Homo-oligomer: A and B are copies of this chain.
Amino acid sequence: MKDVAKRAGVGIKTVSRVVNGESYVAEATAARVERAMNELNYRRDLAAGSLRRSDRRSLTLGLLLANVANPFDAALHRAAEDVAQELGVSVLSASLDERADREQPFVHALATRRIDGLILMPASHDHAYLAAEIAAGMSIVFVDRPPERLDADCVVVDNRGGARQAVEHLASFGHRRIAFLGDRPTLSTARARLEGFLDGVGSLGLSSAASPTIDGLTNEYVAEAAVRSLFEASDPPTALFSAQNLVTVGAIRALRSLGLEREVALVGFDDLPLGDLLQPGITVIAQDAIQIGRLAAERVFARIEGDDSPAQRVVVPTRFIVRGSGEIPAA
C-alpha cells in the first residue's frame, strides 16, 4: 500500500480511502491510485486492516459440523454460506466427527483466527468453556443440539415430537410391536428421539417388551447387523422406527436382504437422498437443513451486529413425508 501510494504520488491514507471506497477522493486522484494498484499487482490484506480497525471484525464465520460430507450437514453448510456470502463474510468450516475431544481444540483454532461468529453442532456435553470465547467477543449459535451448561442461542428441530408422531403413525396402521433404532445416546438428538418414541409407546399403552430399543448404532453397517439380528430373535417387531439417516439406510439394507421390505413398516428420522425412488418409498420425518442453516446464520449475524436480547431457542418444524414404507399394515 505504501508502494502504491508512492507510485501514485499520494499519501498512504488516500490509497486506503480508494481501496475502501470511502468518500471524497478526487476522481483524478482515485484514477491514479487505481492505475498504480494495477501496475503493482496490489492485493490488500484484510487481516492487517482488522488489526487496527475499531470493530476488529475479520469478516469470517466459523462452522463446526459433525461431518461436512453428511447430506444434512452439507445442506446446512450451504445455507449458512449463502447468508454469509450476502454480507461479504467468508466461511471457515471443519468436521468434528462427533468426537467430543476435538471440539475445544477446533474452537480454539478458530478463535486464533479471530472469527466473528461461530455456528456449532456440538460434539461435547459441557460448553461452559465457551463463556471465555464469548467474553472475548465471539458470537455463538448452536445448531441441531442445544448448548449444555451454557446460555446461548440455538436452532433445533422438535426431535421428541417428531419421533412421537412416527410411533403414532405406525400404530395407526395396526402396529403393536415397534422397535427403536438409534445412534449413541450421548447425542442429545438421539436421546430426544428416544424419549419421543417412549412417549408414543407409553401413550398408546404398548408393552416395553414389545418395544425393543437398540442404540449405539454409529453407522449403517452396524445398524444393518442390528436389524438382522432383531429378526433372527423370537417375536420380531412388525415395524421399525429409525432415529437417524444412516441408521435408516442400514435398516433398509437389512430388510431387503431378509426380503421383508414389504412386510415390515419403517419410518426414519431425517430424509434420505432418493428416498422417494426406493420401493417402497421411505416414509420420513424430514428436517429442513436449509432452514436451520439459514436461521442459525441470521441469528449469529444479528448477535455480531450487537443484538443482546436473551438467548433464543428456535425450533424448526419437522415435516412428515408419507411414501409407503411407513404405511405397511401390521400382519
List residues of chain A with CB under 8 Å of any chain B CB: 41, 43-48, 50-51, 58, 60, 67-69, 71, 74-75, 77-78, 81, 85, 88, 90-95, 108-114, 132-133, 135-136, 249, 252-253, 256, 272-275, 277-279
Do the beta carbons of B81 and A74 come within 8 Å of each other?
Answer: no
Q: Which residues of B contact A78 (CB under 8 A)?
A: 67-69, 95
Do the beta carbons of A92 and B90 come within 8 Å of each other?
Answer: yes
| CB proximity of A323 to chain B, nearest CB, Å | 13
Do the beta carbons of B68 and A71 come within 8 Å of each other?
Answer: no
CB<8 Å pairs between A and B, sample of 12:
A44-B112, A45-B112, A46-B112, A46-B113, A47-B51, A47-B58, A51-B51, A71-B71, A81-B93, A90-B94, A90-B113, A273-B273
Q: Which residues of B contact A92 (CB under 8 A)?
A: 60, 90-92
In the assembled complex, the Cα of A93 lies from the Cα of B133 at a distance in Å of 23
Give the nearest-CB partner of A80 in chain B. Answer: B68
Do the beta carbons of A69 and B75 come within 8 Å of each other?
Answer: yes
Do the beta carbons of B277 and A256 come within 8 Å of each other?
Answer: yes
In the assembled complex, the Cα of A112 lies from the Cα of B252 at a distance in Å of 48
Give the nearest-CB partner of A253 in chain B. Answer: B277
Do the beta carbons of A41 and B74 come within 8 Å of each other?
Answer: no
Interface-centre pick from A252, A256, A272, A277 (highest chain B CB count, 10 A): A277
Do the beta carbons of A68 and B77 come within 8 Å of each other?
Answer: yes
User: What copy number does this chain have within its complex?
Assistant: 2
In the assembled complex, the Cα of A114 lies from the Cα of B133 at a distance in Å of 24
A41-B132, A81-B95, A277-B252 known; A90+B69 contact, CB < 8 A: no
| CB proximity of A189 to chain B, nearest CB, Å | 20
Q: Which residues of B contact A112 (CB under 8 A)?
A: 43-46
Give the nearest-CB partner of A293 in chain B. Answer: B69
| CB proximity of A290 to chain B, nearest CB, Å | 9
Q: Which residues of B contact A279 (CB under 8 A)?
A: 278-279
Give the nearest-CB partner of A42 in chain B. Answer: B136
Do the beta carbons of B94 and A93 come within 8 Å of each other?
Answer: no
A45-B114, A48-B51, A278-B277 known; A74+B85 contact, CB < 8 A: no
Q: Which residues of B contact A67 (CB under 8 A)?
A: 78
Give the nearest-CB partner of A113 in chain B. Answer: B46
Q: Which residues of B contact A50 (CB under 8 A)?
A: 47
Which of B71, B90, B274 is within 8 Å of A109, CB to CB?
Answer: B90
In the assembled complex, the Cα of A75 lies from the Cα of B74 at a distance in Å of 10
Do the beta carbons of A90 and B110 come within 8 Å of each other?
Answer: yes
| CB proximity of A71 to chain B, nearest CB, Å | 7
